[in-house]
Amino acid sequence: MVVIKTARELSKMKDACRISAEALCVAGEAVKPGVTTYEIDTIVRKYIEKQGAVPSFLGYGGFPASACISVNNVVIHGIPSKKQVLKEGDIVSVDVGAYYEGFHGDNAYTFPCGKISAEAQALLDATKESLYEGINKALAGNRIGDIGNAVQRYVEARSYSVVRDFVGHGVGAKLHEDPSVPNYGTPGRGVRLIPGMTIAIEPMVNQGTFEVRVLDDEWTTVTKDGKLSAHFEHTVAITQNGPQIMTLC
């Protein structure tokens, strides 16, 4: 069931989204060669808790950390580790959520670690741009398929692929709510967008095939062909005046 938020609920949710966005920005500042993904996760957790909020991901379904940190060919759900030391040229996807006064914020960004290759930068640029292509279609009266199709067309026109096994979602009092928000689709199909809906639009874009596999830890999801993947995400409110990005830092 799709949950429509009142103006008061949206106002409260903005605080959770702000904290989530700020935590993601703090994480990005820490992405440097020689830093472990565990250190970044610790920074995220401390920042969120300092704001009086709770990391949305910590313990969610048994996830053992406050942020998903996915490096290079890891698409999503990378588990932070003291053993994983970032290197020059890595691309590092950080996915962060914060729960504050009854609502969640959810956002992600893929950061370059030092100087990265032109090919990696092109993937990051295309993925980020595809997110905004999707957001531009998050208009009252449109349908979920309009968002997914905009992302898919942008990505595939650049010879990349969109992951199909994992999708965006509604977000609010629960971290994952209806509707599902795929990064592919047919214009004019799917759930109609109504003011008061809040959704997480999150393109996961692969350099090669869209196929992925989940490792034995039952979380870490990697590209099946070992090529790079990038991930960008915003929580967006549907309003009468167009889409409102709630997770701006």
Is the predicted pLDDT of residue 172 greater than 90, yes or no?
yes
- pTM higher than 0.95: yes
Q: What percent of the chain has pLDDT over 70?
A: 100
What lies within 8 Å, CB to CB, of 46 at 6+ separation is none
| Beta-carbon count within 10 A of 115 CB | 10
pLDDT in tens, 77-114: 999 999 999 999 999 999 999 999 999 999 999 999 99
Query: What number is the average pLDDT over the span 66-79?
Result: 98
**161 confidence band (pLDDT: 50, 70, 90):** very high
Set out the domains of the chain in order of their start, with CATH numbers: 7-245 (3.90.230.10)
Q: What is the full DSSP assignment across the chain?
A: -BPPPPHHHHHHHHHHHHHHHHHHHHHHHH--TT-BHHHHHHHHHHHHHHTT-EESSTTGGG--SSEEEEETTEEE-PPP-TT-B--TT-EEEEEEEEEETTEEEEEEEEEE-SS--HHHHHHHHHHHHHHHHHHHT--TT-BHHHHHHHHHHHHHTTT-EE-SSS-EEE-SSSSSEEEEE-SS--TT-SSBP-TT-EEEE--EEESS-S-EEE-TTSS-EEETT---EEE-BEEEEEETTEEEE----
8 A C-beta contact, residue 222 and residue 182: no
Q: What local confidence, expressed as pLDDT, does residue 249 receive?
A: 86
> How far is it, in rounded angstroms, from Cα 70 to Cα 42?
15
Q: Which residues pair with 245 in a beta bridge?
A: 236
**183 confidence band (pLDDT: 50, 70, 90):** very high
